[in-house]
Amino acid sequence: MSYDFNNIFARILRQEIPCNKVFEDEKVLAFHDINPKAPLHILIIPKGSYINFHDFHTQASADEITHFYAKIPEIAASQGVLDSGYRLISNCGLNGGQEVPHYHVHLLGGGKLGAMVGNV
């Protein structure tokens, strides 16, 4: 499977469509999910062209990977969910329920979250 440069997050990165931005630097972008599943629902994405968790961890440099995960707790703190808690989810591939084929981590919080996994 090769990276689809027309996926919606690639288009957001190229600023062809807008997003509700929370954080940006040279390697990472975070923005509010358009269809939030919790009071706080942010998507955190690397700017590099990686399809999913597996692709990111097998293809990205150690620096990209370290930088990406260093930003997640900073973003969580900036959203005020450190004390109340939060959940990170990354859907990978068909059975993982991934809809957008650009690697992303969901940051969910702002209220008590439900069961970790829905019905199979």
Binding-site ranges for ligand AMP (CB under 6 A): 8, 19, 33-35, 43, 91, 97-100
User: Smallest distance from the beta carbon of 91 to ligand AMP, in angstroms?
Assistant: 4
| Least distance between ligand AMP and beta carbon 39 (Å) | 14
Q: In 10 A of CB 60, how many CB atoms? A: 18
Report the residue number, 61 or 118, with the smaller CB distance to ligand AMP.
118
The 3-state secondary structure of 13-76 reads HCCCCCCCEEEECCCEEEEECCCCCCCEEEEEEECCCCCCHHHHHHHCCHHHHHHHHHHHHHHH
Positions annotated as catalytic residues are: 104
Nearer to ligand AMP by Cβ, of 43 and 72: the residue is 43
